[in-house]
Amino acid sequence: MGRGRGKPRGDERPLHRFFSADHRRLDALLRRSTAAPGSVDLGPFGEFRAGLLKHIGMEEKVLFPAARARGQPLPIATRLRVDHGALAALLVPTPTPAIVAEILSVLGPHNLREEEPAGVYEACDDARRQEGSSCSRCDNITPSCVIMVL
* Residue 8 pLDDT greater than 80, yes or no: no
To 10 degrees, what angle do helices 77-90 and 42-58 make?
A: 150
Q: How confident is the model at residue 136 (pLDDT cuts 50, 70, 90)?
A: very low
pTM (two decimals): 0.82
Query: Domain residues of the chain, as ranges?
Result: 11-149
Q: How confident is the model at residue 2 (pLDDT cuts 50, 70, 90)?
A: very low
Give the pLDDT mean for 84-101. 98
pLDDT at 25: 97
pLDDT at 40: 98
Q: List pLDDT tens digits, range 13-45.
A: 888 999 999 999 999 999 999 999 999 999 999
Q: How confident is the model at residue 124 (pLDDT cuts 50, 70, 90)?
A: confident
| Average pLDDT of every residue of the chain | 83
* Residue 85 pLDDT greater than 70, yes or no: yes
pLDDT at 62: 82
DSSP codes of every residue in 46-106: HHHHHHHHHHHHHIIIIIHHHHHHTT---TTHHHHHHHHHHHHHHTSSPP-HHHHHHHHHH
Q: How confident is the model at residue 11 (pLDDT cuts 50, 70, 90)?
A: low
